[in-house]
Amino acid sequence: MDVIEEGRSRLILKENGVLNAEESDYPGSYTIDDIWSHEKFKKVFMVKIVKYNETEMEFDLIGIHAAIANAFRRLLISEVPSMAIEKVFVYINTSLLQDEVLAHRLGLIPLKADPRLFEYRQPGDTDGTEQDTLEFQLKVKCTWNPNAPKDSTSPDDLYKDHKIYTKHMKWLPIGGQGDIYKKRDVGPVHDDILISKMRPGHELELNLHAVKGIGKDHAKFSPVATAFYRLLPEIILTRDVEGEEAERLQKCFSPGVIGIEESEYGIKRAKVLDARYDTCSRNVYRYEDLRDAVKMGRIKNHFIFTIESVGALPPDVLFIEAVKLLKIKCRTFLDELNHV
């Protein structure tokens, strides 16, 4: 790779700084000898799914500008909607938790309800409708356990319902919701989230209203636990590293990044196994005899993107929703330009 191309496509990590940190206006375009085109972009742009399950997805965005990757991150955190408890009507609360603290806890409980099936509640509407509200009831009273062992001091033996979990929340269908949704589709994501602890005589009777919202208004509406990206690391060995040096080099990087192979003559030699999960700590620069053996960088247009869903929607669906939102914003911007 020549110097010009390296400056365009790679960040170079030095001991006390980063080289080539500047970016072009468009991915793959440079004012010196190149211009951006849609056809060229389609050829280089790729999405590769590396890891996927119901709540987490790791994938690669290749051939894209950092601004676009960051736009997806911000949309996922703050503008893709979800359902969360917004109104808490307290009829009885004799527990040790104040009403405000209890309401705050309830608002942070992730719900499985699909926000795409609901509308936003209108300003000033306190009752809600079947199109924009899910209603739950939390009614629990802690009592003594008459069958508790006489010599036991464990609260689990002495009391009944002294731990209030999300499984105690009962869904109250509004209108025809009972015909459209199932209880398992609209309740809490997890049944074992601890809400409060009580003692005999303590009682809760609450009505909860969950509505559709976005993380920009309150963090409880964010559908992701986190969404982040990082550039793909690149590690190049500039010379052979053998023997004790190879073992020391291996310890400078995250596990699995540098491997050691043994030749037929019993010589141990270092090699790069997988630079993907390197944290770029630059520990190698602690050793004078190793600092010239490694060249570390990051590929500018290759982003490792991670989405961790709270459980309402799978991470791939959340990303598609973020793409739809970005398209709407682009169309709105173009319409505004056309009317200037």
What is the three-class DSSP state of 213?
strand
pLDDT band at 25 (very low <50, low <70, confident <90, very high): low
Taking only the tens place, the pLDDT of each residue in 164-205 is 999 999 999 999 999 999 888 899 999 999 999 999 999 999
Please give the pLDDT value at position 86: 95
Q: Which residues contact 263 (CB under 8 A, 6 or more apart)?
A: 269
β-bridge partners, 59: 49, 305
CATH topology of domain 3-21+39-78+226-304: Gyrase A; domain 2 (3.30.1360)
- What are the extents of the domains in the chain? 3-21+39-78+226-304, 82-221
Would 3-21+39-78+226-304 and 82-221 be classified into the same CATH topology? no
Please give the pLDDT value at position 332: 93
Provide, rounded to the nearest whole percent, the portion of the chain with pLDDT above 70: 94
Average of per-residue pLDDT across 329-335? 93
Q: CB of 318 within 8 A of CB of 224?
A: yes
Residue 26 has pLDDT above 60, yes or no: no
Residue 33 has pLDDT above 80, yes or no: no
Please give the pLDDT value at position 31: 43
Alpha-carbon separation of residue 236 from 2, 13, 59, 126, 212 (angstroms): 15, 12, 23, 62, 49
Domain 82-221 of CATH type 2.170.120.12: yes
What pTM, to 2 d.p., does this model score? 0.87
Please give the pLDDT value at position 47: 93
Mean residue pLDDT of the chain comes to: 90
Q: Which helix (H) or strand (E) holds 13?
A: strand 10-14
Classify burial at 95, counting beta carbons within 10 Å of its beta carbon; exposed 0-12, middle 13-18, buried 19 or more: buried
> How far, in Å, CA of 187 to CA of 137, rounded?
11
pLDDT band at 32 (very low <50, low <70, confident <90, very high): very low
Alpha-carbon separation of residue 158 from 98, 155, 168, 175, 332 (angstroms): 25, 5, 20, 41, 62
Average of per-residue pLDDT across 81-93? 96
